A and B are shown apart, each in its own frame.
Chain A
C-alpha cells in the first residue's frame, strides 16, 4: 500500500521502453521558448557571411522556372491553360514545391546534424525538425512575395486578374499541409538514417523524382490525359501515382487559387489531408521511438 502511495508522488519516470504512442505535448509546449529561440537563431544566422544574402532565394526559383518554361512549355509543349503565362505557372509550382523540399531536406538529417547537442542535453527532440519547418516559412514567404510580384506584373500586362478569392482561405491550410508533409517524411527518414545511412543518398535524389510526379510543371488533368494517350499500357501504373499524390493536389490547388483554372477536387484535398495526417503521425511515432536510443547507434 505504502508503495503505491509513494509511486503516485513521482513527477517523472525514466524507463527503457515507452508506450507505443508517447507524445508529451505538454512537454513540447513547455519548451516553446526554445523553439522560438531556435527559429530566431536560424533567421539571424541565415544571411550572415553571404554576399548576396536573401537574393539567393530570388535566383533559385526564377532560374528554375525559366528553365522549366523553356523545356516543358517551349520544347515539350505542355499546355498550361489559357489565362496564365507558362512562366508564372511554373513559378507557382516551384514556389510551393520549394517549401516542401526545404522542409524535407532540413528535417531528414535532424538526428545527425544535431548529434552534438542531442548527446549532451535533453529537450524534446522533435523541437529540431519543427524549427526547420517554421524557419523554412521565412524562405517561403520571400519566394512567395517574388511570385506575387510577377503575378501582379502579368496581371497588369495581360489584364487578367484571376484570383479565386473564395479559395484563398485554403492558402494557409495548403502551406500547413506542405510543412506537415515535409516534417512527417523528414522525421521518418531522419529516424531511419540514424541506423542505416544509405537513405541519406536517397533524399536529394528522391526529392527530385518526387517533383516529377507532383504536378509542379504540368496540370494534373493534362498529364493524365497525355499519358493515357501516349502510353496506354503503363498509364494504369503511372496515373494513380499522380492522382493519389497528396503533393500533386497541394500544388494543383495552390495554382487553382491564383489562376482559377486546373482541377479543384475535394476528393484530392481529402486524400491529401488523410495522407498528411497519417505520415505526420507515423513520423512522430517513429521519431519518438528513435530519440530514445539514437545516441547509441549514431
Chain B
C-alpha cells in the first residue's frame, strides 16, 4: 500500500465579503444563538462558490469547497489555478495559519510552510542573528540551526555581511539570506508558495536546484504553488488544478498542466474590426477547420493586415510560435508587401508533440511597434514524427534532429 503522509478530507473555507463592521456583532450574536440551541450555523448555508468575476447575491463565499486529496510520501504535488482559485487559502490552511470552516487534514509528519521568505526578519539584527530567529520561526530548533549555520551562510553567498545588521543589506541580499534559511528546513512535509521568483537569475537556478534536491534527492514531500509553469513542470510529479475553490482535476502533472493551459487560454482565431493603429492585424486564423494536427501535416495560418498608410518600407511581420510554457520555440520574420493577405505555414515534421500558439508582431526595427497580438490560434500537434514516435511519453525537447548526428 502506498504510504499516505497527508490526507485532506472535505476541506471548505468560507469568507465574508465586504466591509467587516456593521452587522458583525448581530451576525455573531445570531450565530451564537443558533449554536447554543445546538443548531447549524445559519451563515454556513448561504455561501456561494467563489467566482471573482460574477457578482453574487450572498456576502458569504466559499473560498474552498469540498477539497479532498491525498499525498504520498516523497511526492511533489503542484497546486495550480488562476488568481483567486483558492490556492493560497489552501496553503494557509495546510500551514495552520488559518483554520478551515469544515473538514479535516491529517498528517503523519511535521509541516513547515514557506509562504513568504524572511518572515520575522529584523533590520537591527545581524544576518547571523536573523538566521537563528527566522529558522526558529519556521520551526527549527536552535541546535538544528547551529549545526547548519555554515552551510546556510555559504548558500546565501552573504559571508562578508553576515555580522552586519540586515538593514544595511540590499533587498536582493536579504532575500538570498532568507531563502537560504528556508532551504535548509528539514520537515517531513514542506509547503511552498511562489517564493522562487526572487533574486537574480543565478540565485533562481540555485534555488530551483535546491528544491529539486529536497524533493528528489532527499525524498521529502513537497506541496508547491506557483504560476511559473516551467518550474512546476520541472519539480512536480503530480498536480491539482483548482478552479473557483473546487478541485477541477488532479492527476499527472503534464495532464493537469495541459488542462490548465487549455482552460487558461481559450485563445482561438483573432479578429479585430477597427483600430486606431496605423498598421494592424485584422485577422489571424488557422486555415483548417481543426486545431489539432498530426506531425505529417502542414499547419497553415492566414493573416490579414490593414494599413492606413501606403508607406510600408522597412516594416516587418514577425511571427513567434510559443509552447504551452510560454517559451518561444521558433521565430519567422518577413518584410511587408503590397498586399493584405499573408500566409504562414509550419511545414510538417517541424514541431514536436505538444500545444502551441502564435504571437504576431508588426514592427519597424528600432523605430516602432505597430501591433502585437500576444496570443492567438492555439493549436496542438498530436504526435511525433515517425523516427521519434516511440518516445511518446518522453520529453524530447523542442526540435527534431537527424539520427545521423550519432555515428
- Is B96 in contact with chain A by the CB < 8 A criterion? yes
- Is A34 in contact with chain B by the CB < 8 A criterion? yes
- Is B101 in contact with chain A by the CB < 8 A criterion? yes
- Considering only residues 7-31 of chain A, those with a C-beta below 8 Å from chain B are 7, 9-17, 30-31
Q: In the bound complex, what is the Cα–Cα distance between A16 and B122 (angstroms)?
A: 33
Q: In the bound complex, what is the Cα–Cα distance between A269 and B171 (angstroms)?
A: 54
Chain B interface residue count, CB cutoff 8 Å, equals 44
Chain B, Cβ-Cβ closest to A118: B97
- Is B120 in contact with chain A by the CB < 8 A criterion? yes
How distant is B13 from chain A, measured CB to nearest CB, in Å? 9
Chain A interface residue count, CB cutoff 8 Å, equals 38
- Considering only residues 18-55 of chain B, those with a C-beta below 8 Å from chain A are 20, 24-25, 28
Q: In the bound complex, what is the Cα–Cα distance between A11 and B106 (angstroms)?
A: 7
Q: Which of A82-90, A119-127, A150-158, A207-215 contacts B (4 or more CB under 8 A)?
A: A119-127
- Considering only residues 250-293 of chain A, those with a C-beta below 8 Å from chain B are 292-293
Question: For B119, what are the chain A residues with a Cβ–Cβ distance below 8 Å?
Answer: 116-117, 120-121
Question: For A116, what are the chain B residues with a Cβ–Cβ distance below 8 Å?
Answer: 119
Partner of A9, one of B28, B108, B136, B138: B108
- Is B95 in contact with chain A by the CB < 8 A criterion? yes
- Is B15 in contact with chain A by the CB < 8 A criterion? yes
How distant is B376 from chain A, measured CB to nearest CB, in Å? 39
Q: In the bound complex, what is the Cα–Cα distance between A11 and B5 (angstroms)?
A: 10
Question: For B98, what are the chain A residues with a Cβ–Cβ distance below 8 Å?
Answer: 292-293, 295-296
Question: For B132, what are the chain A residues with a Cβ–Cβ distance below 8 Å?
Answer: 37
Partner of B111, one of A12, A40, A48: A12
Encode contact with A along B141-177: 1 for CB under 8 Å, 0 otherwise: 1100000000000000000000000000000000000
Q: In the bound complex, what is the Cα–Cα distance between A147 and B396 (angstroms)?
A: 79
Encode contact with B along A46-84: 1 for CB under 8 Å, 0 otherwise: 001100000000000000000000000000000000000
Chain A, Cβ-Cβ closest to B133: A37
Q: In the bound complex, what is the Cα–Cα distance between A40 and B132 (angstroms)?
A: 11
How distant is A29 from chain B, measured CB to nearest CB, in Å? 11
Contact B100 A15 (CB under 8 A): yes
Q: In the bound complex, what is the Cα–Cα distance between A296 and B17 (angstroms)?
A: 11
Contact A121 B138 (CB under 8 A): yes
- Is B211 in contact with chain A by the CB < 8 A criterion? no
- Is B139 in contact with chain A by the CB < 8 A criterion? yes
- Is A195 in contact with chain B by the CB < 8 A criterion? yes
Q: In the bound complex, what is the Cα–Cα distance between A120 and B96 (angstroms)?
A: 9
With A48-B124, A295-B92, A296-B15 already in contact, the answer to whether A34 and B137 are too (CB < 8 A) is yes
- Is A230 in contact with chain B by the CB < 8 A criterion? no
Encode contact with B along A115-155: 1 for CB under 8 Å, 0 otherwise: 01111111100000000000000000000000000000000
How distant is B97 from chain A, measured CB to nearest CB, in Å? 6
Question: For B305, what are the chain A residues with a Cβ–Cβ distance below 8 Å?
Answer: none
- Is A166 in contact with chain B by the CB < 8 A criterion? no
- Is A234 in contact with chain B by the CB < 8 A criterion? no
With A11-B109, A14-B104 already in contact, the answer to whether A122 and B96 are too (CB < 8 A) is yes
Question: For B105, what are the chain A residues with a Cβ–Cβ distance below 8 Å?
Answer: 13-15
Q: In the bound complex, what is the Cα–Cα distance between A295 and B100 (angstroms)?
A: 12
Question: For B125, what are the chain A residues with a Cβ–Cβ distance below 8 Å?
Answer: 41, 44-45
- Is B103 in contact with chain A by the CB < 8 A criterion? yes
Partner of A16, one of B101, B133, B138: B101
Contact A295 B97 (CB under 8 A): yes
- Considering only residues 69-94 of chain B, those with a C-beta below 8 Å from chain A are 92-94
Question: For B133, what are the chain A residues with a Cβ–Cβ distance below 8 Å?
Answer: 37-38, 40-41
Chain A, Cβ-Cβ closest to B120: A117
- Is B99 in contact with chain A by the CB < 8 A criterion? yes
Residue of A36, A45, A121 ringed by the most chain B CB atoms within 10 A:
A121
Q: In the bound complex, what is the Cα–Cα distance between A37 and B138 (angstroms)?
A: 12
How distant is B91 from chain A, measured CB to nearest CB, in Å? 10
How distant is A234 from chain B, measured CB to nearest CB, in Å? 33
- Is B113 in contact with chain A by the CB < 8 A criterion? yes
- Is A229 in contact with chain B by the CB < 8 A criterion? no
Chain A, Cβ-Cβ closest to B137: A121
Partner of A33, one of B95, B103, B141: B141
- Is B298 in contact with chain A by the CB < 8 A criterion? no
Q: In the bound complex, what is the Cα–Cα distance between A16 and B93 (angstroms)?
A: 10
Residue of B94, B99, B113 ringed by the most chain A CB atoms within 10 A:
B99
With A48-B124, A120-B116 already in contact, the answer to whether A297 and B20 are too (CB < 8 A) is yes
Residue of A15, A17, A40, A45 ringed by the most chain B CB atoms within 10 A:
A15
Partner of A121, one of B20, B110, B113, B122: B113
- Considering only residues 219-262 of chain A, those with a C-beta below 8 Å from chain B are none
Contact A15 B104 (CB under 8 A): yes
Question: For B97, what are the chain A residues with a Cβ–Cβ distance below 8 Å?
Answer: 118-122, 295
Contact A11 B107 (CB under 8 A): yes
Q: In the bound complex, what is the Cα–Cα distance between A296 and B100 (angstroms)?
A: 11
Question: For B122, what are the chain A residues with a Cβ–Cβ distance below 8 Å?
Answer: 41, 45
With A13-B105, A121-B137 already in contact, the answer to whether A44 and B100 are too (CB < 8 A) is no
Encode contact with A along B114-128: 1 for CB under 8 Å, 0 otherwise: 011001101011000
- Is B194 in contact with chain A by the CB < 8 A criterion? no
Contact A45 B124 (CB under 8 A): yes
Q: In the bound complex, what is the Cα–Cα distance between A14 and B7 (angstroms)?
A: 10
Encode contact with B along A195-213: 1 for CB under 8 Å, 0 otherwise: 1100000000000000000
Q: Closest 4 A-B residue pairs measured CB to CB?
A: A122-B96, A34-B136, A14-B105, A10-B106
Given contacts A13-B106, A45-B122, list 4 more A-B pairs with CB under 8 A.
A10-B7, A38-B133, A41-B125, A45-B125
Pull 6 A–B residue pairs with CB atoms less than 8 Å apart, ordered by A: A14-B99, A15-B103, A15-B105, A37-B136, A119-B92, A293-B98
